[in-house]
């Protein structure tokens, strides 16, 4: 049977792939998307969305304990873990079916099955009904990534979990070890700690949330410790001894190795790209460790083959994947496009307190040779933060002293994951301190702190 022909075939229907497919179809391309498991990829099914649904439950639980502060009464506060998880799965399911609907609405052909690339311009799909052969001038790889497993620390789903197990826990941990303090590790640590698990976080780097500005990491650490979390930095889990009802972790810190017992371990030591089984080697696609090597336009070097999102490397974020998807689809459709600028992609961690940032940290700006001005504004100086009962946090801004360019912004505190977009837009518009100081921020809002932080960088702050 002759291969079915398309203008564009996208492999993987995560936030990279499904967005690329929709944008391609909007621009008049005949598009197919091949997906082996679920519409919406990790993001909707096992990542961004279900974690945020869980974290919303723990946030409400936390607030219920503070009811008295707000003149309210809440007795016998408790939770039903099964119901918390059920809500999270329900939210994921709702969005997952939404993606299928959007693809159909845009007349994208959906093919459920596992794709590989037998030759340039060819896609072979293993479906329930046998193999299906497709061809297209343009193919976008958007196959995403999965949890990294370190030897000896492999997940078993019972005592040692990856993020997937942690999203559908077989039990509520009593004594929990989280290995790795990137966004994924810290979000689960925050969730389970708030629900009452005695939580220890072990981070091999010198501080938790290692990609964040050092000052923000330090504030996060203090806050987590105040909430009862134990934080071990510059420490490495060397071995896990599994026995009935307990896991003994051998943790190397400094020159000694300590043994600590836990009932549950979450391994959050990074992710690896899904590059296997696609036939990339035979096509001559370059793979560096676990990600496909591309240029700034997501081109792999093999004509007509592109890679976007997690499979194409850091930052491993859904909005990066989607933005690359749009850029590639527009490029294929013949439009002029601009490469995605990595230092304009914000990162958010939805722990309590939240953390968000964009651009260079203070240390990175100095290393890059900038003479900088730094502004800071604490939540305690903001009327809305006090009214909300959220006085903990800070907004920090970093400017190039010479040009006034906003080089970076770093936040910790309530709702900062919603605030950061203001600075994202600012950086996209190449905003200077002058524009930000002239902007009139509404009162009373948390966003006023974004203004005050800029004013502070230029010695004009009002409310501290
Ligand atoms: C617990 C957790 C929380 C997260 N939270 C956030 C967050 O808050 N914000 C954020 O921005 N990011 C977050 N992320 C990261 C985010 O989920 C990823 O960056 C995003 O999903 C990447 O999108 P993608 O399209 O590249 O790949 P994916 O979402 O991984 O999608 C890839 C798809 O390709 C399919 N596929 C793979 N191989 C094949 C094949 N051979 N044939 C057919 N189909 C195939 C897979 O089944 C999958 O559906 C989180 C991740 C995790 C694990």
83 class by beta-carbon count within 10 Å (0-12 exposed, 13-18 middle, 19+ buried): exposed
10 Å Cβ neighbour count for 163? 22
In tens, the pLDDT along 240-255 reads 999 999 999 999 999 9
| Ligand 1 residue neighbourhood (C-beta within 6 Å) | 11-17, 34-38, 41-43, 46-48, 51, 114-115, 142-145, 163, 184, 274, 278, 309-311, 316-319, 321
Per the model's pLDDT, the better-predicted residue between 341 and 376 turns out to be 376
pLDDT at residue 380 tops 90: yes
In tens, the pLDDT along 120-144 reads 999 999 999 999 999 999 999 999 9
pLDDT at residue 452 tops 80: yes
Task: Return d(Cα 447, Cα 322) in angstroms, integer.
Answer: 26
Give the residues across from 393 on adjacent strands.
413
Instruction: Give every CB contact of residue 46 below 8 A, 6+ residues apart in sequence.
Output: 92, 163, 164, 167
Percent of the chain exceeding pLDDT 90 equals 98
- When pLDDT is averaged across residues 71-77 and rounded to a whole number, the result is 96
Q: Which atom of ligand 1 is nearest to the CA of 347?
A: 11
**Domain architecture of the chain: domains with CATH:** 4-146+272-342 (3.50.50.60), 160-269 (3.50.50.60), 353-457 (3.30.390.30)
DSSP element (H, E) containing 201: strand 198-202
pLDDT at residue 266 tops 80: yes
202 Cα to the center of ligand 1, angstroms: 25
DSSP element (H, E) containing 122: strand 122-127
Tokens 């290393």 belong to residue: 367
Our separate counts of H helices and E strands in the chain read: 14, 24
CB–CB of 17/39 below 8 Å? no
The annotation status of 186 as a binding-site residue, yes or no, is: yes
434 class by beta-carbon count within 10 Å (0-12 exposed, 13-18 middle, 19+ buried): exposed
Supply 393's token pair. Answer: 């946090």
The residue among 40, 41, 10, 20 whose CA lies nearest residue 273 is 41
């Amino acid at each position: 049977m002759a291969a079915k022909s398309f203008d564009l075939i996208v492999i993987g229907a995560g936030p990279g792939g499904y967005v690329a497919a929709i944008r391609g179809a909007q621009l008049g391309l005949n598009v197919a998307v091949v997906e082996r498991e679920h519409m919406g990829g990790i993001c909707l099914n096992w990542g961004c969305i279900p974690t945020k649904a869980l974290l919303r439950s723990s946030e409400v639980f936390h607030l219920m304990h503070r009811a008295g502060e707000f003149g309210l009464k809440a007795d016998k506060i408790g939770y039903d873990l099964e119901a918390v998880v059920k809500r999270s799965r329900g939210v994921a399911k709702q969005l997952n079916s939404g993606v299928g609907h959007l693809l159909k609405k845009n007349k994208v052909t959906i093919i459920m099955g596992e794709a590989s690339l037998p030759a340039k311009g060819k896609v072979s799909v293993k479906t329930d009904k046998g193999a299906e052969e497709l061809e297209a001038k343009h193919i976008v790889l958007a196959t995403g990534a999965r949890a990294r497993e370190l030897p000896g620390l492999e997940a078993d789903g019972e005592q040692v979990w990856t993020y997937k197990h942690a999203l559908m826990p077989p039990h509520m941990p009593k004594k929990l070890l989280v290995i790795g303090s990137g966004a994924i590790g810290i979000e689960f640590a925050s969730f389970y700690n708030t629900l009452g698990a005695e939580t220890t976080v072990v981070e091999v780097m010198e501080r938790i949330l290692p990609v964040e500005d050092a000052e923000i990491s330090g504030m996060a650490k203090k806050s987590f410790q105040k909430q009862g979390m134990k934080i071990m930095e510059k420490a490495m889990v060397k071995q896990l001894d599994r026995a009935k009802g307990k896991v003994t972790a051998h943790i190397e810190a400094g020159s000694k190795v300590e043994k600590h017992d836990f009932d549950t371990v979450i391994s959050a030591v990074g992710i690896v790209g899904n590059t296997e089984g696609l036939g990339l080697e035979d096509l001559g696609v370059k793979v560096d460790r676990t990600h496909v090597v591309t240029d700034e336009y997501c081109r792999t070097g093999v004509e007509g083959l592109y890679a976007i999102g997690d499979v194409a490397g850091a930052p491993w974020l859904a909005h990066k994947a989607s933005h690359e998807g749009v850029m590639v689809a527009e490029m294929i459709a013949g439009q002029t496009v601009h490469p995605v600028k990595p230092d304009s992609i914000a990162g958010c961690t939805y722990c309590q307190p939240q953390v968000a940032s964009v651009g260079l940290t203070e240390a990175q700006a100095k290393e890059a040779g900038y003479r900088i001005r730094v502004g800071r504004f604490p939540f305690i100086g903001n009327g809305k933060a006090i009214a909300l009962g959220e006085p903990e946090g800070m907004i920090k801004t970093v400017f190039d002293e010479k040009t006034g360019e906003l080089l970076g912004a770093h936040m910790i505190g309530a709702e900062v994951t919603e605030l950061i977009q203001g600075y994202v837009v600012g950086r996209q518009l190449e905003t200077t301190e002058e524009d930000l100081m002239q902007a009139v921020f509404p009162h009373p809002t948390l966003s006023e702190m974004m203004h005050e932080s800029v004013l502070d960088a230029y010695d004009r702050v009002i409310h501290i």
